[in-house]
């Protein structure tokens, strides 16, 4: 099972039902659609045009295209896919006009090695007993309870880290983990293979975790758990159990 | 078979396959190796917990949406379209 995310369906009605309502001028249904999708559309638009105000215009244009084009929707794709196709087309045209085209290749994964964790934190391959096991293991995080100043600060740090991710990683992580999109929808919207989507997700999430780790290790902490900081533990204290488990 | 499952996974490898693990796309055998590893490796258990925490925190980031005036404008446009087609 995947992680627990805010993966509630964005729109409750089935697509067919929703389209039927929109065609019959159901304003409440349209309002619900706007409320459910404007944020993810905006997030995607920013990727193409890079300016918040132009991204907002792109989203607005997308909705206008929906208003005028609802009769033409054939129901061959999901409403969501349809919306993102419209937005992508408008955004690309707009980006071209601004000469700031984001090539699709940007969403391809480069083959450069990007380890999730600094390789220096692991024992060398030549280690006689524990090759590639932790030399500098992760330390427990001490977080403030939800709603406290510490908690808000953590979220602010995370938000900045998300914004700082390389574009493709940022978009994939935002759509998956902030907006709660299923992997398949992200692949469709960005024209990505499942494997590449996962690589971008992995790299992005790993970077975010690393930023949080740094933040928690530097922040003045609440009374911290015992231990702390040493470079000695390589996690094999329970190696006997490991052997016994076989 | 059992030996394959318990063939230890190095921590360095675990941090690279954690997303596949959380996504549920890890092959059965690797999943078993992963589970066996975290059972006996507290630092990796901590790493997995931190990754889950990262995901939960990311899920709490609020999302900017369009302004309420832009929203009103859209609803007005929709109403006009509806009125003109009836």
Asked if A175 and A165 count as a contact pair (C-beta separation under 8 A), the reply is: no
Give A228 or A13, the one with higher predicted confidence: A13
Quote the Cα angle for B67-B69-B71, to 5°: 75
* CB < 8 Å to B18, chain A: 116, 202
pLDDT reading at A119 higher than 60: yes
Contacts of A142 (CB under 8 A, 6+ apart): A216, A221, A222, A223, A224, A225
Half-sphere exposure of B29 (CA within 13 A, CB side): 7
Which pair of tokens denotes residue A147?
């709603």
Are B71 and A59 an interchain contact pair (Cβ–Cβ within 8 Å)?
A: no
Q: Are A48 and A92 in contact (CB under 8 A)?
A: yes
Number of domains in chain B: 1
Domain ranges of chain A: 15-102, 119-223
Q: Is A155 on the interface with B (CB under 8 A)?
A: yes
> Which residues, in sequence order, are bridge partners of residue A122?
A134
pTM for this entry: 0.70
pLDDT at B15 over 80: yes
Does the beta carbon of A182 lie under 8 angstroms from any beta carbon of chain B? no
- Residue A4: per-residue pLDDT: 35
Question: Which of A43, A133, A198 is closest, CB to CB, to B19?
Answer: A198
Residue of B nearest to A36 (CA): B65
Q: List CB contacts (< 8 A) between B56 and chain A.
A: 3-4
For the four alpha carbons of A243, B30, B45 and A216, in that order, the dihedral sign comes to positive
Residue B65's domain comprises 2-85
Contact at CB, A173 and B41, closer than 8 angstroms: no
Tell me whether residues B44 and A235 touch, CB distance under 8 A.
yes
DSSP string, A9-48: -S--S-HHHHHHHHHTT-HHHHHHHHHHHHHHHHHHHHHH
Q: Is the pLDDT of residue A157 over 90?
A: yes
Using an 8 Å Cβ cutoff, are A231 and A136 in contact? yes
**A48-78: per-residue pLDDT in tens?**
776 788 889 999 999 999 988 887 887 777 8
Please classify residue A124 by burial: count the beta carbons closer than 10 Å to its beta carbon, then call 0-12 exposed, 13-18 middle and 19+ buried: exposed
Question: Packing angle between helix B11-23 and helix B42-59, nearest 10 degrees?
Answer: 40
Residue bearing the bigger pLDDT, A244 or B6: B6
Per-residue model confidence (pLDDT) at position A195: 93
Share of chain A above pLDDT 90, in %: 37
On whether any CB of chain B is under 8 Å from the CB of A73, the answer is: no
- CB contacts of B36 in chain A (<8 Å) are 245
Q: Which CATH number fits domain A119-223: 3.20.130.10, 1.10.10.10, 3.40.50.300, 3.90.1150.10?
A: 1.10.10.10
Plot region of A141 (φ>0 → left; ψ -120 to 50 → alpha; else → beta): beta
Tell whether A40 lies on the interface with B, counting CB pairs under 8 A. Answer: yes
Bridge partners, A134 (sequence order): A122
Average the pLDDT over each of A6-10, A56-60, A150-154, B69-73 and give the range with the smallest value. Answer: A6-10
Whether pLDDT at A128 is above 90: yes
The per-residue pLDDT for range A92-105, each reduced to its tens digit, is 888 777 765 455 45
* Phi, psi of A120, rounded to the nearest 5 degrees: -65, -10
Question: Could you tell me if A137 lies within 8 Å of chain B, comparing CB atoms?
Answer: yes
List the CATH code of the domain at A15-102. Answer: 1.10.1740.10
Per the CB < 8 Å rule, is B19 touching A60?
A: no
Yes or no, beta carbons of A154 and B57 under 8 Å apart: yes
Residues of B in contact with A45 (CB under 8 A): none
Residues 95-114 of A with CB under 8 A from B: none
Q: Do B42 and A234 touch (CB under 8 A)?
A: no
A·B CB contacts under 8 A? 172
Q: Are B61 and A39 in contact (CB < 8 Å)?
A: no
């Amino acid at each position: 099972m995947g992680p627990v995310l805010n993966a509630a369906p964005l729109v409750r009605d089935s697509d067919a039902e929703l389209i039927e309502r929109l065609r019959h001028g159901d304003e409440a249904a349209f309002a619900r659609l706007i409320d459910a999708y404007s944020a993810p559309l905006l997030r995607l638009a920013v990727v193409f045009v890079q300016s918040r105000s132009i991204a907002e215009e792109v989203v607005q244009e997308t909705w206008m295209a929906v208003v005028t084009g609802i009769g033409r929707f054939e129901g061959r794709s999901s409403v969501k896919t349809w919306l993102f196709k419209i937005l992508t087309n408008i955004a690309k045209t707009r980006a071209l006009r601004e000469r700031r085209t984001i090539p699709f290749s940007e969403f391809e994964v480069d083959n450069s090695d990007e380890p999730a964790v600094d390789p220096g934190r692991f024992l060398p391959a030549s280690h006689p007993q524990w090759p590639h096991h932790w030399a500098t293991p992760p330390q427990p995080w001490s977080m403030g309870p939800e709603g406290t100043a510490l908690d808000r600060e953590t979220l602010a740090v995370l938000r900045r880290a998300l914004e700082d991710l390389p574009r493709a990683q940022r978009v994939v992580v935002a759509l998956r983990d902030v907006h709660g999109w299923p992997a398949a929808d992200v692949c469709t919207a960005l024209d990505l293979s499942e494997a590449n989507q996962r690589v971008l997700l992995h790299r992005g999430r790993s970077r975010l975790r690393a930023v949080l780790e740094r933040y928690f290790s530097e922040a003045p902490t609440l009374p911290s758990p015992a231990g702390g900081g040493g470079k000695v533990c390589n996690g094999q204290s329970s190696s006997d159990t490991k052997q016994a488990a076989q | 078979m059992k030996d394959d499952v318990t063939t230890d996974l190095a921590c360095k490898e675990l941090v690279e396959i954690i997303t596949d693990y959380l996504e549920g796309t890890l092959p059965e055998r690797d999943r078993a190796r992963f589970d066996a590893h975290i059972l006996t490796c507290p630092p990796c258990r901590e790493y997995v917990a931190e990754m889950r925490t990262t995901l939960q925190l990311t899920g709490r980031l609020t999302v900017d949406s369009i302004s309420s005036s832009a929203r009103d404008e859209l609803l007005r446009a929709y109403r006009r379209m509806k009125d003109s087609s009836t």
